[in-house]
């Protein structure tokens, strides 16, 4: 699994447009507008580092990153399971952990974000939701931390020039992080996390042109009961000028203003909406409710030829309340593009 880059380009998709519905009075008509916003985003062996039987790996394969990654952006995420950290057990305790910049010989205390051997890329681990640096309980039999959820390994863009290279640690035992289990003073059986893959920098990212999608007007009588939908309209999120080489281009939808509770895929009406009891609902190409906050692949991106790609979607009205009134319905979505 490789990482993700979230870029900061912003695009405005979908604005309101006034429409008249033939043979339907103003009190019976709904007009829908959906607004989308897109972002395309030399060392020797260390004292205490010894041969171990539990070597764990992150970013062990080739990783492709855009050249436009801003400083501070998390450009890659991978996870190490508790079972891997704990030798098959669902959880375990540690009395000490150390971080080794460059996968080198000397640990560094007081910091969580450490340099890697790839210029422009630093790394950190997230343990129990928090960045973790070198620390100890001071006693081999005293618990410092317990791990029962995945440890997240992040690659982070730093201030150095961004240059392709290998993440492989420089020491004889090239771990970036080592965790000592409670009761164990030697690192020989302590789990260590290594990064060994290559990072390749790709120039450019996909662009997302501005587009406007307007739902057809419908009669209130077509929305019979809470949860009923009407006026479905198919559209595509358009991607253009995608560079070649990425193993994956992903997209994440975020409902600006929030989602309607208990109505999967439904956007809370945005400013300027005049109708009540109705929202805009998004579904994917298979008509399943849109997933918010999760990166999904742009399946027709072609890493060999790049160029244009699309994400097929549908939008419709959905009734959200027992009481409805006619008017205009607007919604807003942010689209984040990520790259592997």
Contact 247, 65 (CB under 8 A): no
Residues 6+ apart with CB under 8 A from 135: 96, 97, 109, 144
Residues 76 and 196 in one domain: yes
pLDDT for 261: 95
Residues 90 and 146 in one domain: yes
Q: Is the pLDDT of residue 1 over 50?
A: no
Burial 270-308 (b: 16+ CB within 10 A, else e): beebebebbbbbbbbeeeeebebeebeebeebeeeebee
Residues 182 and 250 in one domain: no
Q: 141: domain range?
A: 55-202
Residues 198 and 59 in one domain: yes
CA–CA dist 206, 99 (Å, integer):
35
User: Which residue's entry shows tokens 């965790």?
Assistant: 179
Residues 237 and 289 in one domain: yes
268 occurs within a structural domain: yes
Write the pLDDT tens digit of every residue in 81-131: 999 999 899 999 999 999 999 999 888 888 999 999 999 999 999 999 999
With cut-offs at 50, 70 and 90, classify the pLDDT of residue 177: very high
Residues 6+ apart with CB under 8 A from 23: none
46 occurs within a structural domain: no
Residues 179 and 126 in one domain: yes
Domains held by the chain: number: 2
Q: What is the mean pLDDT of residues 150-161?
A: 95
Residues 196 and 211 in one domain: no
CATH of residue 169: 2.60.40
Phi-psi region of 257 (alpha: psi -120 to 50; beta: other; left: phi over 0): left
Asked which of 177, 202, 227 is the last residue of a domain, the reply is: 202
Q: Is the pLDDT of residue 23 over 80?
A: no
pLDDT for 54: 79
pLDDT for 15: 28
pLDDT for 32: 56
105 occurs within a structural domain: yes
With cut-offs at 50, 70 and 90, classify the pLDDT of residue 2: very low
When computed from its CA atoms, the radius of gyration of the chain, rounded to whole angstroms, is: 25
Asked which of 152, 176, 202 is the last residue of a domain, the reply is: 202
48 occurs within a structural domain: no
Write the pLDDT tens digit of every residue in 264-320: 999 999 999 999 999 999 999 999 999 999 999 999 999 999 999 999 999 999 999
Residues 90 and 195 in one domain: yes
Phi and psi (nearest 5°) for 26?
A: -60, -30
Asked which of 202, 219, 252 is the last residue of a domain, the reply is: 202
With cut-offs at 50, 70 and 90, classify the pLDDT of residue 26: very low
Residues 257 and 145 in one domain: no
CATH of residue 22: 2.60.40.1090
> Which of 160-164, 202-206, 228-232 is least confident?
202-206
pLDDT for 69: 85
| Residue 306, token pair as written in the block | 């790049």
pLDDT for 338: 85
pTM across the whole model: 0.63
Residues 195 and 209 in one domain: no
pLDDT for 213: 81
Residues 305 and 170 in one domain: no
273 occurs within a structural domain: yes
Residues 151 and 271 in one domain: no
With cut-offs at 50, 70 and 90, classify the pLDDT of residue 160: very high
274 occurs within a structural domain: yes
50 occurs within a structural domain: no
User: Which residue's entry shows tokens 């989308």?
Assistant: 36
pLDDT for 97: 95
């Amino acid at each position: 699994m490789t990482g993700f880059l979230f870029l900061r380009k912003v695009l405005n998709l979908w604005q309101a447009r006034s429409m008249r519905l033939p043979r339907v009075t103003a009190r019976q008509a709904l007009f829908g507008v959906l607004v989308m916003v897109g972002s395309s985003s030399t060392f020797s062996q260390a004292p205490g580092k010894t041969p171990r039987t539990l070597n764990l790996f992150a970013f062990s394969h080739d990783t492709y990153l855009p050249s436009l990654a801003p400083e501070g952006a998390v450009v890659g995420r991978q996870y190490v399971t508790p079972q891997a950290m704990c030798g098959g057990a669902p959880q375990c305790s540690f009395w000490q952990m150390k971080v080794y910049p460059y996968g080198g010989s000397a640990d560094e205390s007081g910091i969580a974000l450490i340099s890697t051997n790839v210029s422009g890329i630093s790394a950190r681990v997230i343990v129990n939701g928090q960045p973790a640096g070198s620390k100890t309980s001071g006693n081999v039999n005293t618990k410092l931390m317990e791990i029962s959820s995945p440890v997240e390994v992040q690659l982070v863009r730093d201030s150095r020039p961004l240059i392709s290279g290998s993440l492989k640690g420089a020491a004889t035992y090239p771990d970036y992080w080592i965790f000592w289990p409670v009761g164990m003073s030697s690192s020989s059986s302590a789990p260590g996390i290594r990064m060994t893959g290559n990072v390749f920098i790709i120039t450019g990212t996909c662009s997302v042109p501005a587009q406007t999608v307007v739902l057809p007007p419908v009669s209130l009588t077509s929305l019979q009961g809470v949860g009923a939908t009407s006026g479905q309209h198919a559209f595509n999120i358009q991607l253009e000028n995608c560079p070649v080489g990425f193993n994956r281009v992903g997209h994440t939808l975020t409902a600006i203003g929030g989602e309607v509770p208990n109505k999967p895929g439904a956007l809370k009406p945005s400013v300027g909406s005049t109708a009540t009891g109705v929202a805009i609902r998004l579904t994917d190409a298979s008509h399943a409710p849109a997933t918010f906050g999760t990166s999904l692949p742009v399946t027709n991106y072609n890493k060999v030829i790049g160029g244009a790609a699309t994400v097929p979607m549908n939008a419709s009205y959905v009734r959200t309340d027992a009481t409805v009134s006619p008017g205009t319905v607007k919604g807003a979505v942010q689209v984040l593009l990520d790259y592997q």
